[in-house]
Structure 1
Amino acid sequence: MEVQSFIANENKLKKLYYICSEDNYLREEFKQKFIDKFVDEEIKDFNLSFVQPGEDYLKRLKSAVQTPPLGSEKRFVISHLEAADSFDKKEAEKFIALLENLAESTSLLILSPEPLDKRKKLYLRIKKQGSYHEFKAPKYSNLDKWIVSRFREYNKKIDKRSIKVLENMFSNKLEILAAEIEKIVTRFPDKEKISYYDIKDLISRERFIEDEEIFAFLDLIGEKKTDKALLSLKEMLNKGVYPLYLLTMLANQIELLMQVKFYSQFTKNNKEIAKKINKHPYPVKKALQRSRNFTQLELEKILEEILTANYHFLTGYYPDQNTALEMIIIKAINY
């Protein structure tokens, strides 16, 4: 089932939703559609909270879900969680107790890239308390349909050869694909049908941006060097890097820094951390060095800012994306 269909059929709000998808785009899509359907605009400021993973996670989550709603019957808490199965026995028991004692006035949405072990107590408790669902990025013919539907949202058609080119370059990484599709339709506003010859040069530019360039950019943010960070940003944009692609790359690196910083409390060995988070030791080593420039709270705030902007970019909320990206960076530096 697709995210859109799931939300459309969810007519009675539950106290707990545990949503898993390794695809960040699908997790963000679920979060935004959940908010759009269930969280009234007038109560967002006081009754919608976000809890990011990191230090004292369970303590912060418990505080959020136990806070009563203000001027409303419901309070909503949305939390990103890397892997609940990585809790030790004591933490797992606390987490289960927290979920079992949710107030009727609270609705908790947990978003995780990792599915739960269905043999364990945590999964069984979640199924009993609320809704557990896994969403997978589409493949093969379903991915073809997804790409076609994305173009259709912009009132565009695309030929089969172009679909295959997009799939070959970006596989089923939906966040990157969505950014590429938006770039294509923006470049050809008056064309009803997009052809291979329209896109072949346009989609190749971002392939040249390196992780090192992103890391250097993050260094400038961490060192609070606003002028140099904005200059670096402009240089990347001048190379033809699409703002939404850059935002996606930044989100990926911030998530890596958060993971590495969390595990660095227990070990400074990059190989051990890499094994924990299923990453190659080299980028983990680099992230371990860069994570010292940020507190966990700063990283959480920056990531939330980026994810919100990412959604606004996709929905066309920001007409001038370059300027919007500059404002996001300035805000991140000032945290």
Structure 2
Amino acid sequence: MIYLFHGEEEFGKSERIAALKAKLGDLAEMNAVTLDGRGLSREALLHHCDVPPFLGDYRLVVVEDLLTRLEKKGPDGKQPASSRDFLIWLADYLPTMPESTLLVFNESKKISARNPVLKAIQKLGERGEVALFETPKLKRGELARWVAQHARGKGVRLKPGVAEALATFIGPNLRIIDSELEKLALYAGDRPITQDDVRLMCPYAKEASIFDMVDALGNRRTPVAFRLLAQMRNQGAHPLYLLTMIVRQYRILIQVKDYMNQGMNLNDIASTLKLHPYPTEKAMRQARHYTPDQLQRIYDRLLDTDVAIKTGKLEANLALDMLVVELARVQ
């Protein structure tokens, strides 16, 4: 059986590969291999695919980003002849591969529909599968539907609004959503997970509240900022924790604003800051509310508040209240 799993959504692909590996049973470690396609030769691929399984029925061979590499164009804008030859050879080889081999092409990017290997796998009928894995889009409600469906598959019950909350707080990082569902299910036990559980147990919910408060400050909506601050206090958040998270968010905004002024795009900024594109995009929208000078003055004021609290000059909650009022008035 030959599989082509392609697209940027890694979690779904890893689950499929884990399920294939589970079919190998106790001999999985002996009969499974992962190959780096970025430097893989024909001879090495042929060797691993033609090796018979050890005391089992199947051998799993996972090849990562081979087709992505072979689709790349050279400096002249054309696909190298060696890459074309490799693809043609591979398309001819696949129908002759031993049926005891489960071959998976795990590609981090979407493969062209014209790719000869993709076409060859599609022609194999029941012996081949091509699956595109794309991250669900938050704005179309796809992500919340994915959360609800994934929870049902795990036997986890959700109260209304929980799927939407997790989708909003975490964004399109399916692996983290899966991890948070596991944690919330353990906490809730036999009962359904509620939105209060999410706010209590999910750190991303607290970060989202901080983001919303900073967003309210940027839009000069002081009452909304105070309401969000009160909510986080009622949930038991320590004043110094809240201040630390506010400082972190404004530090990100300063960096994002600087990179935006340099002409960097979303993906470049996310990669440089080692952030997921989802919170990076939100930060870019937020940074537009401020000038670089305003952000620097805010950051200096945050540091002054930190010193005032730690030296006992101001009581922590009073210091935060004064800070919120001042930040909403920054000109």
Q: TM-score, normalised by structure 2?
A: 0.51
Query: Alpha carbons of 1:42 and 1:64: their partners in 2 closer, same or farther (altered >3 Å)?
Result: same
Partner of 1:121: 116
Aligned residue pairs total 203
Residue 204 of structure 1: CA displacement? 2.9
2:166 is matched with 166
Counterpart residue number, 2:85: 93
- Counterpart Cα distance in 2 of 1:133 and 1:204: 33
Structure 2 match to 1:245: none
CA drift of 1:143 comes to 3.5
Letter in 1 for 2:169: M
Distance 1:155 1:108, change over 3 A: closer
Q: Following the alignment from structure 1 to structure 2, what is the Cα–Cα distance between the partners of residues 279 and 206?
A: 24
State the distance in 2 between where 1:282 and 1:160 align. 32
Shift of 1:282: 8.1
Mark the CA change 1:141 to 1:106 in structure 2 (over 3 Å): closer, same or farther: same
User: For residues 166 and 65 of structure 1, do their structure 2 counterparts lie closer, same or farther at Cα, with a shift above 3 Å needed?
Assistant: same
Shift of 1:280: 1.4
Deviation at 1:284, TM superposition (A): 6.1
Query: In 2 relative to 1, CA 57–159 (structure 1 residues): closer, same or farther, beyond 3 Å?
Result: farther
2:20: which partner in 1?
A: 34
Specify whether residues 57 and 172 from structure 1 end up closer, same or farther in structure 2 by C-alpha distance, changes over 3 A only: farther
Structure 1 CA distance for aligned equivalents of residues 154 and 52 of structure 2: 41
Residue type of the partner of 1:158? L
2:188 is aligned with 1:204: no
Q: How far is 1:141 from its partner? A: 4.9
| Higher gyration radius (CA) | 2
Q: Is the 8 A contact 1:26 1:137 kept in 2?
A: no
2:162–2:195 Cα contact (<8 Å) kept = yes
Residue of structure 2 in register with 1:111 after alignment? 106
Unaligned runs of 5+ in 1: 1-13, 209-238, 240-273, 287-335
Say what the alpha-carbon RMSD is for the aligned residues.
3.5
Distance 1:92 1:281 in 2: 34
Q: 2:7 aligns with which of 1, 21, 28?
A: 21
Superposed CA offset, 1:14-37 (max 9, x none): 2x211113111100111122233x
| Offset at residue 162 of structure 1 (A) | 2.5
| Structure 2: unaligned runs, 5 residues or longer | 74-79, 208-240, 242-263, 275-331
Match of 2:30, as an amino acid? F
Q: Give the partner amino acid of 1:121.
A: P
Equivalent residue letter for 1:25: F
* Pairing of 1:234-313 with structure 2 (within 5 A): 279-280=267-268, 283=271
Compare relative contact order (CA 8 Å, sep 6+) and give the higher one, 1 or 2.
1
Letter in 1 for 2:165: V
